[in-house]
Structure 1
Amino acid sequence: MPDGAAPAYPTEEADVIVVGAGPAGATTAAYLARYGLSVTMLEKSTFPRDKVCGDGLTPRATRALTRLGIDLSDETQWHRNIGLRSWGVHPYPFEFKWPELTDFPPFGVARARKDFDEVLARFAVAQGAALIEGAAAESPILNDRTGRIEGVVTKDGRRFRAPYVVAADGVSSRLAVAMGITKREDRPMGVAYRTYYRTPKGDDDHLESYLTLWDGEPGKSNQMPGYGWMFPLGGGIANVGLGVLNTGKSVQQTDLRGLLKNWAASAPEAWGYRDAEEIGKIQGAALPMAFNRTPHYGRGLLLVGDSGGMVSPFNGEGIAYAMEAAEAAASAVAEAISRGVGTGSAERAMQAYPAVMKESLGGYYRLGVTFSKLIGDPRIMHLCVKYGLPRKTLMNFVMKLLAHLTDSHDGDATDRIINALSKAVPSV
Structure 2
Amino acid sequence: MANAAGEADVIVVGAGPAGSTTAAYLAQHGLSVTLLEKSHFPREKVCGDGLTPRATRQLIRLGIDTSEEAGWLRNKGLRVYAGRKEPFHFEWPDLRDFPNYGLVRPRSDFDNLLAQHAVGLGAELVQGANVTEPVLDERSGRIVGVTTKTGETYRAPLVVAADGNSARLAISMGVNKRDDRPMGVAVRTYYKTPRHDDDYLESWLELWDGEPDKSTLMPGYGWVFGMGDGTSNVGLGVLNTSKGFGKTDYRALLKRWLDHTPEEWGFRDENRVGTVQGAALPMGFNRQPHYGRGLLLVGDSGGMVSPFNGEGIAYAMEAAEYAAAAIADAHARGIGTKEAERALQGYPVQLRAELGGFYRLGNIFVHLIGNPTIMKLCTRYGLPRKTLMQLVMKLLANLTDAHEGDWMDRLINMLAKAAPSA
Alignment of 1:362-377 (within 5 A): 362-377=356-371
Q: Is 1:67 the equivalent of 2:61?
A: yes
Question: What per-residue deviation string (whole Å, max 9, x for no partner) do you get for residues 337-385 of structure 1?
Answer: 1111100000011111111100000000000000000001111111111
Structure 1 distance, partners of 2:413, 2:346, is: 22
Question: What per-residue deviation string (whole Å, max 9, x for no partner) do you get for residues 303-324 of structure 1?
Answer: 0000000000000000000000
Structure 1 distance, partners of 2:383, 2:83, is: 9
Cα distance change of structure 1 residues 321 and 112 upon mapping to structure 2, 3 Å threshold: same
Alignment of 1:160-199 (within 5 A): 160-199=154-193
Q: Which residue matches 2:6? A: 12
Q: Is 1:111 the equivalent of 2:124?
A: no
Specify the SS of the correspondent of 1:351. helix
Q: Is 1:154 the equivalent of 2:139?
A: no
CA contact 1:54–1:240 (8 Å) conserved in 2: no
Structure 2 distance, partners of 1:141, 1:190, is: 32
Specify the SS of the correspondent of 1:235. coil
Q: Is 1:228 the equivalent of 2:222?
A: yes
Structure 2 distance, partners of 1:53, 1:285, is: 8
Question: What per-residue deviation string (whole Å, max 9, x for no partner) do you get for residues 81-105 of structure 1?
Answer: 0000001131100000000000000
CA contact 2:242–2:370 (8 Å) conserved in 1: no
Q: State the 1:336 CA deviation.
A: 0.3
Q: Is 1:210 the equivalent of 2:208?
A: no
| Pick aligned residue for 2:350 from 356, 377, 384 | 356
Q: Which residue matches 2:291? A: 297
Q: Is 1:84 the equivalent of 2:78?
A: yes
Q: Is 1:98 the equivalent of 2:106?
A: no
Q: State the 1:280 CA deviation.
A: 0.6
Q: Which residue matches 2:38? A: 44
Equivalent pairs counted in the alignment come to 422
Question: What per-residue deviation string (whole Å, max 9, x for no partner) do you get for residues 217-271 of structure 1?
Answer: 3222210001111011212221100011022551211111001011112110111
Q: Which residue matches 1:144? A: 138
Alignment of 1:379-394 (within 5 A): 379-394=373-388
Structure 2 distance, partners of 1:99, 1:148, is: 45
Structure 1 distance, partners of 2:26, 2:357, is: 28
Q: Which residue matches 1:411? A: 405
Q: Which residue matches 1:424? A: 418
Q: Which amino acid aligns with 1:273?
A: F
CA contact 1:189–1:245 (8 Å) conserved in 2: yes
In the TM superposition, structure 1's runs of 4+ consecutive aligned residues that sit over 4 Å from their partners are: none
Structure 2 distance, partners of 1:390, 1:10, is: 62
Q: Which residue matches 2:300? A: 306
Structure 2 distance, partners of 1:208, 1:344, is: 49
Return 5+ residue gaps in structure 1 as ranges. 1-5
CA contact 1:76–1:234 (8 Å) conserved in 2: no
Q: Is 1:344 the equivalent of 2:338?
A: yes
Q: Which amino acid aligns with 2:319?
A: A
Return 5+ residue gaps in structure 2 as ranges. none
Structure 2 distance, partners of 1:51, 1:188, is: 21
TM-score (normalised: structure 1): 0.97
Structure 1 distance, partners of 2:121, 2:259, is: 45
Moved more, 198-207 or 322-331: 198-207
Q: State the 1:288 CA deviation.
A: 0.3
